[in-house]
Chains A and B, each alone.
Chain A
Amino acid sequence: KQEVTQIPAALSVPEGENLVLNCSFTDSAIYNLQWFRQDPGKGLTSLLLIQSSQREQTSGRLNASLDKSSGRSTLYIAASQPGDSATYLCVMSRDDKIIFGKGTRLHILP
């Protein structure tokens, strides 16, 4: 069974710290991996998309990496800000399957 696991489930860090969110998946034959952000009561916002042929993508303070051989992806957030507080979802696509992790709830302490 395909699974996407996100660790930790929740994280609180002081403002300004760099942090890493982890995502692991059970099958390395993915097509792409996407990180989303969800704010309370809001929809999903796409942050970064990594194609299977790529190893990382960067956007501003965010960097996402993909290691298919180990079944892992990380989302690195530099110099965290209170506005980064949200739930971060990792989504794996394989063939015609799309599998979501349950997310990491991030809280940045001012």
Chain B
Amino acid sequence: DAGVIQSPRHEVTEMGQEVTLRCKPISGHNSLFWYRQTMMRGLELLIYFNNNVPIDDSGMPEDRFSAKMPNASFSTLKIQPSEPRDSAVYFCASSLRHRAEGYTFGSGTRLTVV
């Protein structure tokens, strides 16, 4: 298995532009998580899905952020419009049977908004 695949690895965009981050979970995993990592706040859970359904999006910072999981093999995290304070590393993780099996993380997308 290729693991959790995120794209792009790096994204540099101008303030106000729309940014879309993509994630392909491990085949067969039924839970998917989006995290954001910054030096100041560490790792924060943004949203997670079980069986493609959003369960908890309380970590999504504001309405500029949205996440979708149209099928079991693909998810997107969109920021529109982007702001410099959104600059961070965004990680996607997946697991089988949330809570029991542990998590596998992607390599992350480093987002820089200038």
Contact = CB atoms under 8 A, between A and B. Distances in A.
Contact of B103 (A91, A101, A103): A91
B102 A34 contact: yes
A100 B103 CA distance: 12
Nearest to A94: B99
A93 interface: yes
B45 A98 contact: yes
Interface string A89-108: 10101011010111100000
B99 A43 contact: no
Interface residues of B, number: 21
A49 B102 contact: yes
> Chain A: interface residue count, which band?
20 to 34
Contacts, number: 44
B56 A32 contact: no
Q: Which 4 A-B pairs have the closest CB atoms?
A: A43-B107, A44-B105, A49-B102, A100-B43
25 contacts: A31-B99, A32-B99, A34-B102, A34-B103, A36-B105, A41-B110, A42-B108, A43-B91, A43-B105, A43-B107, A43-B108, A44-B93, A44-B105, A45-B105, A46-B102, A46-B104, A49-B101, A49-B102, A51-B100, A89-B43, A95-B99, A96-B55, A96-B56, A98-B48, A101-B42
Given A36-B105, A44-B105, A96-B56, 12 more contacts: A32-B99, A32-B100, A41-B110, A42-B107, A45-B105, A46-B102, A49-B102, A89-B43, A93-B99, A98-B45, A98-B48, A103-B42
